[in-house]
Amino acid sequence: MALTSPSSKSSSQILTLDPTHPQPPTRHHHHTSSSIPTNLPPAKAIKTHPSTSAEENASVYFVGNATTIIQWHGIRIMTDPNFLHAGDHVHLGPGVTSVRKLNPAVDLEVLPPVDLMLLSHYHEDHFDRHVEASLRRDLPIITTPHAQSILTAKGEDSFTQVAAVDVYNQALVDIKADKTGRRPRLRVTGMPGKHIPMGKPLEKLNEVVGAIPPTNGWMLELGYGNHGGTTADFEPGYRIYISGDTLIFDELKEIPRRYDGQAINLMLVHLGGTTVPSPAMLPLAMMVTMDAKQGVELMRSLGDFQNQVKEAGLDGQVVYLDRGDEYRFYVGGEKV
């Protein structure tokens, strides 16, 4: 990946991914390249949207928790990697732990090549310690400025290709392709996120100890444009809103306002229902990730998304992915 500074006054950073040189996500694999799986395990179930064109050219594979793998144009994008097993403990803050309930659908060590990671926040529930120790150091990462500052300050163990994308800032990702003209690109925009509710005792604690890190969501747009160009010539063919680890709060209403008149094709909402502190410490407990009720609320606040679902006559069509399931979709815009 090449990380170049913006040449214009645009705040976009430009990254380049090369799918013709696939690399495993972990550094242990480097000397045993023949043993790297070329694909994810077969999906337990393959789901599509009711309006499917039967021309699906992209997919989301659900690993577990907030970990998904998005595949398009020969590249794989991994979100918030947590590959702990059932019963493993996650350290979330001073004296605060959580226990993983279910196994991931696939293990970190047997993943096929991964080209890019989107990390919503630097926190063990979405980025476990084993993953952090195992990942290859040159894996391209897009994350919060907070997480970037940590990942690049680990001395010889630092990650070397980390782009910091703050809320409403953008990174453009060029995907090398053997073709001329319109070429595949990603545009990643930071979306607001809030890990715990305002005014609650834990937030005051958080301010004191810095226990809970700043959290982003992402708008991931898959589309086409001229490589190296500014965001102006990028044309999205599919738009995915990834919630990250957020609760419902007012700033989320800004998202449909910003994308007014533009389709948000897919929303990946993390409904983990994790509590901090542990449920044993109630009534101090509060949700860290959203439960199902708040997920519905978020869909309401994304009114544009819901209206488009309604207009298409698809009201109430929510696809639920179990671990190991895959959702396939069509990214348009390659042919003009």
Residue 172 phi, psi (nearest 5) = -105, 135
CB of 117 to Zn ion, least distance (A): 16
Contact in structure between 14 and 174 (CB atoms under 8 Å): yes
Which spans in 9-167 are helix H? Answer: 129-134, 145-151
Residue 246 Cβ, how far from Zn ion at the closest point, in Å? 10
Q: How far is the CB of 99 from Zn ion (least distance, A)?
A: 15
Dihedrals phi, psi of 299, to nearest 5 degrees: -60, -40
- CA 231 to CA 235: how far, in whole Å? 9
d(CA 35, CA 16): 26
Beta bridge partners of 79: 118
The count of other CB atoms within 10 Å of the CB of residue 258 is 12
List residues near Zn ion by CB under 5 A: 123, 125, 245
Q: Specify the residue, 63 or 222, whose C-beta has the smaller distance to Zn ion.
A: 63
Q: Cβ closer to Zn ion: 76 or 195?
A: 195
Dihedral-angle region of residue 122 (phi above 0 means left; psi in -120 to 50 means alpha; beta otherwise): beta
Q: Smallest distance from the beta carbon of 179 to Zn ion, in angstroms?
A: 40
Smallest gap from residue 137 Cβ to Zn ion (A): 23
Q: Is residue 10 within a helix (H) or strand (E), and if so which, with residue range?
A: none
- 106 or 288: whose CB is closer to Zn ion? 288
Tally Cβ neighbours within 10 Å of residue 68. 24
Which tokens go with 75? 């590249």
Residue 174 or 245 with smaller CB distance to Zn ion: 245
Closest distance to Zn ion from the beta carbon of 126 (Å): 5
Judged by CB, which is closer to Zn ion: 125, or 221? 125
Q: How far is the CB of 274 from Zn ion (least distance, A)?
A: 8
Q: Alpha-carbon distance 91 to 94, whole Å?
A: 8
CB 144 within 8 A of CB 214: yes
Which residue's beta carbon is nearest to the bound Zn ion? 123
Which one, 123 or 185, has the nearer CB to Zn ion?
123
Minimum Å gap between C-beta 41 and Zn ion is: 27
Contact 139, 117 (CB under 8 A): yes
Give the orientation angle of helix 303-311 with respect to helix 292-301, to 10 degrees.
Answer: 80
Distance (Å, whole) CA 240 – CA 187: 11
Q: Could you tell me the smallest distance in angstroms from the CB atom of residue 208 to Zn ion?
A: 18
Instruction: Give the C-alpha separation, 163 to 166, whole Å.
Output: 10
CB of 125 or CB of 174, closer to Zn ion: 125
* CB closer to Zn ion out of 265 and 289: 289
Q: What is the CA radius of gyration of the chain?
A: 19
Our CB check for Zn ion shows the closer of 15 and 268 to be 268
CA distance 49 to 238: 13
